[in-house]
């Protein structure tokens, strides 16, 4: 399968999938409070997605047991919702989720602070989010995919953070994961050329310390090797005639 170009009617469905996901993220942000379990967040997301008349795309994906990946502090991505795991003051909490609207997928992640967090964590969260916006400045027809990757790396590297290499962004559409893969670290090759109608999930995962990660015994949760915090920020975007449109924006960013 190669990179798909979405038609006008497909783009309308991608837009709606993204818009609803932005609204979902706004509601989930309210749940990032001390004492809330990661399962509470997942169940709320499932309820909201069903209320939209949509389906969660993560639930059951390769057997993933939730609609939201909730990853706290040193957890990078793919944290499994649990009724025994509670959010605490000072945590940074990444919520990664998506939905399917009329057969079309959206995917977005936010990292939220619970109460007062350390300045180091706050900077990490801010830089991770900004790295997405730096990357998408290059997301326009005529540019190449790896211009996005390199723009993210150029922005992040001076902070001395570790850029996760094992996991990457991806094309998205009638499937959650489509071609191409979208690395967040420096690339030697140019990657595919960008054309209007491509829909992409750009998702930098940035660590306070080492870039190295490992998988917990649950086979899902990815954590940093040094135990330092990690942040994640993601949106589904559309390449337009003259740039790009962010499909999954929420009012809280
Ligand atoms: N947003 C992630 C991704 O893009 C999460 C998908 S993993 C899942 O790959 F299993 F939870 F769906
Ligand atoms: Co994704």
Specify whether the CB–CB gap between 46 and 24 falls below 8 A: no
With both helix axes pointing from N to C terminus, report the angle between 38-51 and 8-29 in degrees, rounded to the nearest 10: 140
Mean pLDDT confidence for 217-240: 99
Task: Give the tens place of pLDDT for each residue, 73-92.
Answer: 999 999 999 999 999 999 99
Specify whether the CB–CB gap between 111 and 87 falls below 8 A: no
Task: Give the tens place of pLDDT for each residue, 202-228.
Answer: 999 999 999 999 999 999 999 999 999
- Site to substitute for ligand 1 among 76, 107, 205, most atoms within 8 A of C-beta: 107
- Site to substitute for ligand 1 among 75, 96, 178, 219, most atoms within 8 A of C-beta: 96
Distance 114 CA to ligand 2 centre (A): 23
- What's the confidence (pLDDT) of residue 205? 99
Q: Which residues in 12-38 are b (16+ Cβ under 10 Å) and which e? A: ebbbbbbbbbbebbeebbebbeeebbb
The answer on pLDDT for 252 being more than 80 is no
* Chain mean pLDDT for the chain: 98
Of all residues in the chain, what percent carry a pLDDT higher than 70?
A: 100
Is the pTM higher than 0.85?
A: yes
Specify whether the CB–CB gap between 21 and 246 falls below 8 A: no
The answer on pLDDT for 1 being more than 80 is no
d(CA 243, CA 173): 19
Distance 185 CA to ligand 1 centre (A): 19
d(CA 247, CA 236): 6
Task: Give the tens place of pLDDT for each residue, 119-131.
Answer: 999 999 999 999 9
Mean pLDDT confidence for 106-116: 98
């Amino acid at each position: 399968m190669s990179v798909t170009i979405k038609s006008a009617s497909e783009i309308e469905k991608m837009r709606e999938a993204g818009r609803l996901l932005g609204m979902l993220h706004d509601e989930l942000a309210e749940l990032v409070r001390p004492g809330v379990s990661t399962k509470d967040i997942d169940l709320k997301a499932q309820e909201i997605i069903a209320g939209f008349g949509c389906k969660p795309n993560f639930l059951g994906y390769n057997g993933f047991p939730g609609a939201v990946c909730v990853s706290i502090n040193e957890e990078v991505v793919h944290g499994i919702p649990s009724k025994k795991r509670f959010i605490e003051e000072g945590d940074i909490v990444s919520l990664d989720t998506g939905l399917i609207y009329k057969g079309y997928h959206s995917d977005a992640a936010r990292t939220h602070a619970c109460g007062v967090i350390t300045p180091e964590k706050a900077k990490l969260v801010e830089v991770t989010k900004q790295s997405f916006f730096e990357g998408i400045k290059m997301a326009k027809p005529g540019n190449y995919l790896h211009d996005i990757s390199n723009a993210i790396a150029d922005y992040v590297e001076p902070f001395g953070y570790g850029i996760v290499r094992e996991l990457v962004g991806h094309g998205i559409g009638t499937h959650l994961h489509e071609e191409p893969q979208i690395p967040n670290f420096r690339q030697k090759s140019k990657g595919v050329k960008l054309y209007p109608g491509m829909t992409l999930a750009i998702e930098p995962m940035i660590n306070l310390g080492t870039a190295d990660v490992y998988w917990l015994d649950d086979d899902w949760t990815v954590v940093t090797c040094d135990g330092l915090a990690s942040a994640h920020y993601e949106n589904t975007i559309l390449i337009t005639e003259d740039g790009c449109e962010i499909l999954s924006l929420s009012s809280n960013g």
